Structure 1
């Protein structure tokens, strides 16, 4: 096995009844050895017969000779100590008590190796809710020809899972584990040769285990060294959300905000039990100062408008502009923020938002939350600009300033959208055009702060004349 030849032993000269040893030789166990379950080693000793001196020590200089005077052949022997090739009832190699009488023919020394332990883990249910009981099953298979003892099986439960006392069984024999936190340990497990044992136990799904996937992990370790003896085995359980107590549902409407106040005036009174953003306060957003109209014009829902959540969930309003998100989120005890945004490309032509977009509300577990979106048709006040409206140093000409003041006075009472359209000349850089439009927008907002009564929307666009054909 070691591949050693002509290696001297210590002592090198042996008197009758003496023995010598060859120490310090090593062999590295291979994967093939593990698969075979054992390694075999054969050694042969050889020595020249010599005479014995008067003091009883070997006389290496006087070899023994035969009748013709020729030296005797070397004496040799092949190892027959250690074990027989046979195994006992437990699968362990049989030790030879007296090699001289029991060994029979020369045989190799057999060393039984710890074979591969295969650990698998299963669970009887893949989907559960809080309060359920699940059963885990561990299977440990010994693939070697020898028994394996002192195996500690350690099973770590997910957070929120609680072991159900007096349910652990190993091969139909009750055996409680040692419990330390979430770790369950069965110490000193013995797995016989080519044997498979099964461990089962029950676990409660506790309230502190939140929705989602929960992984249970188990592994076998050597009780003496603590080294792993198996790969890690896992089993996954998914806890489903409890719709009444854990989910938060969002409902709402996208409506035609006729009076541009950001509130749905047709909100039914019986809906006031829900958490809502529809409680009226004069001056919402700091821009609207008129009291709520006593007889508001009818406001209707806008159908076919798409709304999107940050995780990509998309919903579309029905024929009445309504939408709902069942179990929109699973907020913790203190709640969680939830965002929803309208894809304004799906609004009717000419409509613009009168409410925040996106909107953020605070969700509470088990509560219904309402968030409405307003949009309306706005008159568009268009301001056409070009480089001629500015001086050489980039300042606005007096005529432009006067025109902006007149514009602000005209749209102060009627919600409108201001669109700045810059006609860029050939070769004029976009950077210069954007800078001039920003200057104009700042002037409009300065004037608006003294006059306007609603949140003004200013749009900006750069327009260029089509390039003339070179042909």
Structure 2
């Protein structure tokens, strides 16, 4: 495993019909098979040192005298001898002189670098440096079969054909290849509406010493990025060889500014200005702008796009199809259907994106055609603010909300007048004054960039502006300071929604304030939710016997032993598992802010409830505000099906209970009464799922027990048969057998 030096020699054995001249060995540094300027020449007997596992490419170059005749041949031998052990390897090539065309095909670009939207010139040439003419190949021109020598320039990826110049070579005709046509089918005139993907210049043949040239101009796509690359080819034939031959040019590359891929939502199939809001139930129009994915300019390609809902967790995968060959623009066709998860079951992979009000949808792409690419964007669904009671966190109906354009930049110069508001399509006008319904919601979906403020006329018994600071507003509320308090706020960039929440005060709090939060905004049946209630004693006095009265929503149940006050265990509340709980906090010092935490389980019936948990603190006659937190219970995998789990083990100690060291028995087959069976795993465990809630019979297949093993009666459910067991299943029960 050491470096070795090899001595390189070349020679021309005698006896051939001609002798090559100026023979030399060149190290092919770039491995392109051509002796390029600057590549080192290895002198006769010169050495090359290689590390272990390293290799090198060598070329032998020379000249053939003009006096050499067809049919003559010569040999060239290359020998490498290792200095370390003296090992020798050699290679001998035979050169035969024949009458043949030799084609050199070249391509040049008009510039080395360019920009999207610019014109780019490409000049191609094919020269015959051999001693015979290059013959034609079969082609079709305007539907007629013929044979021509063809110099062909493909339209590069991420460009569009603009024009072709007549060849300076006498007798050459200009031909066009159209998208979708056969490989060797051309037209002499481009039909209206047709797309050109290659240009060719043709002759009956290319004579010895002749050159065929041609030039095209393309327009670089507006979304092109990185580089424009291309190669050209010549199609020809020789009478001494069968079939068509091809000669390929050098590649050219024109540098472009890097432009990252992007993805956007649009309000309709016109794909005009991008959108940042939409409505549940409306289709989503998605377009990916990724020139890097346009790896084959001759056909429309496709890329995978993933859409995700933040609130429902729904994930849907779609395929976006290129708008045409060589565009780099991809669209999900015809669109992405959506549904309101409040009334539609959430099911990932069903091709429908289930969303909720105030949801955030993310569209992303990570790869295309083997190319890594990263792009994502977001879209608000039904963005709406809520007018609510700052004490109870309950929505307030009957409040009038008016949007005022402070500067007039968005309503045509009417400073202080009503704002100009649009619906989700960005075209249809919407009112600038709305009145809240039972859910307290209001919405101004799209407004032009400007400075705005909200004027709220509350119903009787409420006041706007709220005196409760933003930090003490109920958790989960979207509070904009100063927008939620009647101050001015700015909408910049593209037209955007106004959807923050607006608190109203119903009366004084007496200085005792609470704030309630949940650790998740959405849950499914079977989930656990952690609540936190922060109590702020701002009365200025010590409060004794403080209690927190908490009302759980339908289907939510308190989990015993989970109550904590400032992290320390707290006795379980009065009220068992709910729904009405009473936590005893004891004394709270002036200015103290203790935090109560506890856990609930989301159970059957939660989907039909409001999901709103309301709490209020009390110390004697001092009452706090009512604080609430809402958890959206969405559809999921919940059903009334039941489950059976269990194990088969060797009761070595004879106690009837598995003890440490009692091994599970694998490979035992367990049957149900309908023939369904499971086989125990390496720990002796098995399970059945999706069972109808009724009585089932669990039966052991005795033939699968180990030799000498016998079963043991453990309970009356065995019915005196150790090999069977009655399992009474109820809705959603997890039964251990």
TM-score, length basis structure 2:
0.17
Higher radius of gyration, 1 or 2? 1
Which is bigger in relative contact order (C-alpha 8 A, separation at least 6)?
1
Tell me which protein shows more helix as a share of its residues: 1
TM-score, length basis structure 1:
0.26
Tell me which protein shows more strand as a share of its residues: 2
